[in-house]
Structures are given as structure tokens and as C-alpha cells.
Amino acid sequence: MEKDVGKITKNDNTDIVVRVDDFGGKPGVTIREFTTSERYTGFTKSGTRIPADKFLEFRELINKISLNDLKSDAKSEQKQIEDSGEEVEDY
């Protein structure tokens, strides 16, 4: 049993693939990177697998993340630096 749920583009060469599968006779959700390049096309070692018996716990954890938690604090950090008068080196 293998069912791709969907994918998210990470960059030009890599997608994050979410799938429901059966690994070693145990169902679960696998989240893995899939890369496409001249040297290799396929799944990488990067990723994780959530066993079916832990999926509800995983989903509850994900649902605890609000969109505000994911907003960048870069603007507020820059404002703090400007207010403090510190010099920031350019890279």
C-alpha cells in the first residue's frame, strides 16, 4: 500500500513528499525529500516516518503551530539592533 498525499517544492531540485505507506508490514506516514539532479534522481535519506499508532499525536502537535509562530522575527530583530545603535557587519 503506497499512496502519495502530496508534495511541496523545497527548491529548484528538491520536493518534500508526504505519503501513506506500509513499511515492513507496518502502516504509517513518510515525509521524505525527493531530489532531481544530473547525478541522482530519487528519494534522499532526509526525512522521517510517523508510525500509524503515533499519527494522531503527530497531527495534534502540528495543529498546535499557529501561522503567527511561523512569521519571521527578522523585522523586529532589525528594529532592536537599530534602537540599540549596534553596528551590524554585512556579509
Number of C-beta neighbours around residue 41 at 10 A: 10
What local confidence, expressed as pLDDT, does residue 59 receive? Answer: 95
Could you give the CA distance from residue 37 to residue 16 in angstroms, rounded to a whole number? 15
Residue 33's region, left for phi above 0, alpha for psi from -120 to 50, else beta, is beta
* Architecture of domain 2-84 in this structure: Roll (2.30)
Residue 83 has pLDDT above 90, yes or no: no
What number of residues does the chain have?
91
Is 29 in contact with 47 (CB distance < 8 Å)?
no
The 10s digit of each residue's pLDDT in 3-62 is 999 999 999 999 999 999 998 999 999 999 999 999 999 999 999 999 999 999 999 999
Domain locations in the chain as residue ranges: 2-84
> What pTM does this model have?
0.69
Residue-level pLDDT at 15: 96
